[in-house]
Amino acid sequence: MVGANTPSATWMVLVTVVKAVAKPGARPLELGELLRAHREQLGLSQQHLADLSTVSIRTIRNIESGSIRKPRRQTLSMLADTLKLDKISCALLNDAAECAKPTVGFDLRPPYPFSSFVGRLDDRDTITRTLTAGDSRLAVISGLGGVGKSRLAMEVTLRLREQNGWPVLWVPLGESTDAGPIMSAATAISLDAIRGDAGSCAKLAQLIGGNDALIVLDGLQGGDSAEAFAFGLLRACPRLRLLATTAAPWRARGALSLRLAALAVPSRDIWDAPAQLGETESVRLFLERMYQGQTGPSVPMADLEGVAELCCLLDGIPLALELAAARCAELSPELLLHDMITATDGTSDQTVPCEFDPVWEVIGNSCDLLTGSQREHARRLARSGSRWSVENIAVELELSVSAAIDLIDAMAAIGTIRMENRASSPEIVLLNLVRRVLLAPVP
């Protein structure tokens, strides 16, 4: 039976601390070492401490091993209460957590978001949990342009840094991001390493060493060179974690691969239920951006229905939703619906607000990942309809069923279609915004 941490037991742990720091050149005990000393002083196993405190055994193991150096205050408080620590011991434990400083040669804060994070909580938690536990040290987020890959990576990164105190190196890649004149030396080395410079890769590995660290590669292009860079660095740095965002899925061995879908759009059967309508992810995002978080019961039903229509029209793609919500500062959702015309029959005289140019650009970049024949097949489907079965696609395009499945796989990989009714009769739905890009006149 575990009782209170007696004065003699506390004294013995304090003696351990004093002896550790009294040695010439010695460093203070780290959080994990202190926790282990208190646990072992009471004769508790990690499992026993987990059972008594309700803190998971994985978290306790990660703290004691040093994988987690800055746990949540609530976690530390629960462990201290279970161990019956006195004020001095609690203070030492908290100081060890607060003073946990990264020893990596960089500690750059990730870019901070300027708006709230809506939806994707399960995706965020899955990636955070996987990288923290070390089940996989490489996570890859892929999806259609504008679907929110970078925003999700930003949220995961901030959470990992807050929970674990890991130093972070955010490396912007591709056309959508620019490190600019404030590019750090570590970022410059990373860019050269990704391009295949062996010397830069060695320098980066030396900066990280055997320490905990997180590198985010935002906009990474997959392929042999990217895989060689990532796995070479992971092999050289056993406590490094890598998080990458890509347009096309990167099927790297051993990686957590997450294909990010658009936000859920409201189904017609809840159109007359304002509470359910307002809780749909895409509608929530639109309303938060439209009303700056003041969604409450003051949202007129007409506006709510117009927003729901817009969310369906814009396929639940966050970038398009945010741009449309910004326009609602001048227009009501109903007027914006009248103003927004998407291509439905392939004619070239249809227009959309110029504010949506960023959407067409990023979706166009995603469509460019299709081969020439795949894109032509996709254009034929866009001209003919928006919902298909596998057999109908094969007939329409005069393909074998196997070839039709290959086309569907290629289009699903980059997020240009979504699958509905998977359990019964699967339907392939071509996204509205993708149809407009595919049917746009070729310059």
pLDDT in tens, 319-377: 998 888 888 777 777 777 666 654 334 343 344 456 678 888 889 889 889 999 999 99
Q: Tell me, what's the pLDDT at 384? A: 84
Chain segment 96-139, per-residue pLDDT in tens: 777 655 556 565 667 778 788 888 899 999 999 999 988 889 99
Chain segment 144-185, per-residue pLDDT in tens: 999 999 999 999 998 888 888 888 888 888 644 444 434 566
Find tokens 């393909």 and name the residue: 399
Find tokens 């601390």 and name the residue: 17
pLDDT averaged over every residue in the chain: 78
- The 3-class SS string of 335-384 reads HHHHHCCCCCCCCCCCCCCHHHHHHHHHHHHHHCCCCHHHHHHHHHHHHH
Cα separation, 287 vs 308, in Å, equals: 10
Q: Tell me, what's the pLDDT at 317? A: 92
Cα separation, 77 vs 132, in Å, equals: 20
Angle between helix 46-53 and 57-65 (nearest 10) = 130
Burial profile 388-420: b = 16 or more Cβ within 10 angstroms, e = fewer: beeebbbebbeeeeeebeebbebbebbbbbbee
Cα within 13 Å of Cα(433), Cβ side: 32
pTM above 0.75, yes or no: no
Q: Are 246 and 260 in contact (CB under 8 A)?
A: no
In this predicted structure, which of 21-30, 87-96, 255-264, 407-416 has the lowest mean pLDDT? 21-30
